[in-house]
Structure 1
Amino acid sequence: MNANRGLNIQLRAMPGDEQLIRVHPWAAGPRQGSAAAATLRRASKPELAGHFAAPGAVGDAELARVLSRADIATAFRDPVVEGQSASVMTPELAGRPVIVFDHAHYSEFSDDAAFMIESAAGVGGVGAALRDLVHDPDCRARLGEAGLDFMLTTRSGAAYAEAPFRAGDFALAARPRMPLARDGTQLRRRLGVEKEAIVTDRVGEPAFDLLELA
């Protein structure tokens, strides 16, 4: 029910569309605030009555039950104010296909990990995306599987832990003398000669030169 979640644009796409009138959105989250009030007012209109559920804030167990019944998840955030979005990560980790606007960090998704549409597409674009997924269960299954794989390989704790090491490797690759000096030091340590006077004299000075050049 966040102010920038884009629920209203989805609700505006549904009335009068015979293909979407079977869609029953669920919006989990606090019901307080002006944005939530505006969404609930729109959802109470006759053409949407009985097609929208807002259970309020839910715990992890209840959210898991909601997602187990869901066919599609949406997050039409505009503007995007987060660096990551639990609104997308949670349903993707549950294997559900997600529709998002193709901007901000959502653009990092691979082409098959989410159903991305241009934010300028507006109500018509949102309606078209919903219709595509509502009538294509195979596409929903493919997106759900690809989204889950994307999350497990790029957003897991292990992936986050590995990211600084990859960044360091990329940085060193741009300065080839640095790895050369590092590898030379490691070799001398493995041989146990790093403290020998002749090694210090013959190798130490060039090594420092390499570091300065790097």
Structure 2
Amino acid sequence: MKFVFFSPMATNSAIGRVTVLIVRALMAQGDSAVVVRTEHEQRLDKPAHACDTELIDWTQTAAVEAAISSADALIYQIGNNYSFHCGGLHWLATHPGIVCLHDFMVTHLFAEWAEGRRAEAEAILADWYGEELAEAFYKANTAESFIEMATQSCPMTEWICSMALAVVSHSHWGMARVAQSCAGPLRVVPLPYDAPSCTSAMSLAASPPPQKSRVNILTVGHVNPNKRVDSVIRAIGSSALLRDTVSYRLCGLIGPQVEQSLSRLARDLGVQLVISGEADDAALQQAMNEADIACCLRWPSLEAASATTIEGLLYGKAVIVMDAAFYSELPDDCVRKISPFNEVAELTEVLEELCGNAATRQAMAHRGQVWAEHTFSAPNYARELANLSVSAAAAQPVLSMVGTLVSTLDRWGASPALMMSDEIADALQLFQGHGQAAV
């Protein structure tokens, strides 16, 4: 089979890293692939992940159309960042394919896409969430109010998935919205990821806990309120044991005001805080190797899966997560889970346990690494994607026929009640079995 992937490929894109792994696995099983870079035009000159196949910019219309015309399946990697995915949206609108949904909430993606398209955006919002929400969408005047509205009322999952022939996601928690909006086949498949330069599970199990002056805790990623860094600092600062034994490191983009605020909080509470800022792959790999605990708290939890959490598990680190969304689906014996409603107290208790007993910490890390190496597999993802491509191709004419019928009824002025009547619904039973499957 020939696949065309629409994906960001810049070296700072975790989704691009995933695409490389999938393409490599597809080629190993005898398939071929072309990758269309989907970043904003101003980003297309940035260095790309090394990939053993042809790369095309989404703006190269003739080359993209030629790739599409000879493809067996189109794969759209979609996340909640417009500057990384604008090219994917451009082609998805006219050439539907399989959407690999990396975030269940894509409201930021939608909001930036909607700039200059207000009437169209309001119609989409009204169709999925009602006229009142369509009006409220443009009245959110702070980042906090926007996130609250997005997570509670309009994640825009339906907008993306309604354009797809089929959807792959990486956890179950948001699939109800996917099923409401995509009539094609659906799959939940663990996200493939890797951990360059990590210690193997076998070596980790055989080696004794290292003797170090302090336990190193690491948080990776853009430092914003969603990462709960201030809660980690408060948890460490509330415990004499943790203050004396812990070093807390941040690796990721951080604004100057946030850096000043967190540094001041750490000083006031007597916490040893190391702020490394944005780092390249080699520096991040070194930071992960040096860490004892990966603190992967996210609240609100919006991802279909967390590459950072998977990476922490693959690197053989004790991983702490929020007990929500994707993170709740991780095995209880492989991670420690924190309630978002008792965050600091539970985090303090868990950190004291893990920092106070190296053997316990390492045993959990080993269990997590073994499970992650088996679960987050690129060959498995490639097989599932190939199988889903066959199902999506079979479903496409059926979905097109149903879409034509619904459009015709809509042009005739049919009300929603009529479209859901027994006469219409019973007739559409003919097509059952050709659409959704195994979520």
TM over 0.5: yes
**Runs of 4 or more off by more than 3 Å in structure 1?**
33-38, 162-168, 211-214
Which of the two has greater strand per residue?
A: 2
**RMSD of aligned C-alpha atoms?**
2.5
Aligned AA (2:356): H
Match of 1:109 in 2: 330
Aligned-pair identity in percent equals 26
Distance change in 2, residues 1:36/1:154 (3 Å): farther
TM score, norm. by length of structure 1? 0.70
- 1:34 CA drift (Å): 5.2
Counterparts of 1:83-102 in structure 2 under 5 Å? Answer: 83-102=304-323
Q: Which amino acid aligns with 2:372?
A: M
The question of 1:69 aligning with 2:290 is answered yes
Q: Distance in 1 between matches of 2:387 and 2:286?
A: 37
Answer yes or no: is 1:15 the counterpart of 2:237: yes
Which residue does the alignment assign to 1:194?
none
Which residue number in structure 2 is paired with residue 3 of structure 1? Answer: 225
Shift of 1:11: 0.5
Residues paired across the two proteins, number = 170
Cα pair 2:313 2:365 within 8 Å, conserved: yes
Q: Which ranges in structure 1 are unaligned for 5 or more consecutive residues?
A: 169-210
Question: What residue number does 2:348 align with?
Answer: 127
Q: Distance in 2 between matches of 1:90 and 1:47?
A: 29
In structure 2, the CA distance between the partners of 1:161 and 1:7, relative to structure 1 (3 Å rule), is same
Q: Distance in 1 between matches of 2:386 and 2:335?
A: 27
TM-score, normalization: structure 2? Answer: 0.36
- Quick one: distance in 1 between partners of 2:378 and 2:325? 22
Change (3 A) 1:2 1:89: farther
Match of 1:30 in 2: 253
Q: Residue type of the partner of 2:235? A: A
What's the counterpart of residue 380 of structure 2?
159
Q: 1:32-79: per-residue Cα shift (whole Å, max 9, x none)?
A: 16544532332243622xx01011011121112112221111112100
Q: Give the equivalent residue in structure 2 for 1:202.
A: none
For the residue of structure 2 that corresponds to 1:159, the secondary structure is helix
Contact 1:31–1:37, Cα closer than 8 Å, also in 2: no
Deviations 1:8-48 (A, max 9, x none): 10101122411111211001001216544532332243622
**CA distance, structure 1, for counterparts of residue 371 and residue 345 of structure 2:** 28
Q: Say if 1:159 and 1:120 are closer, same or farther in 2 by CA, change over 3 A.
A: farther
What residue in structure 1 maps to residue 264 of structure 2? 41
Say if 1:47 and 1:115 are closer, same or farther in 2 by CA, change over 3 A: same
Counterpart of 1:11, as a letter, is I
- Partner residue, 2:410: none
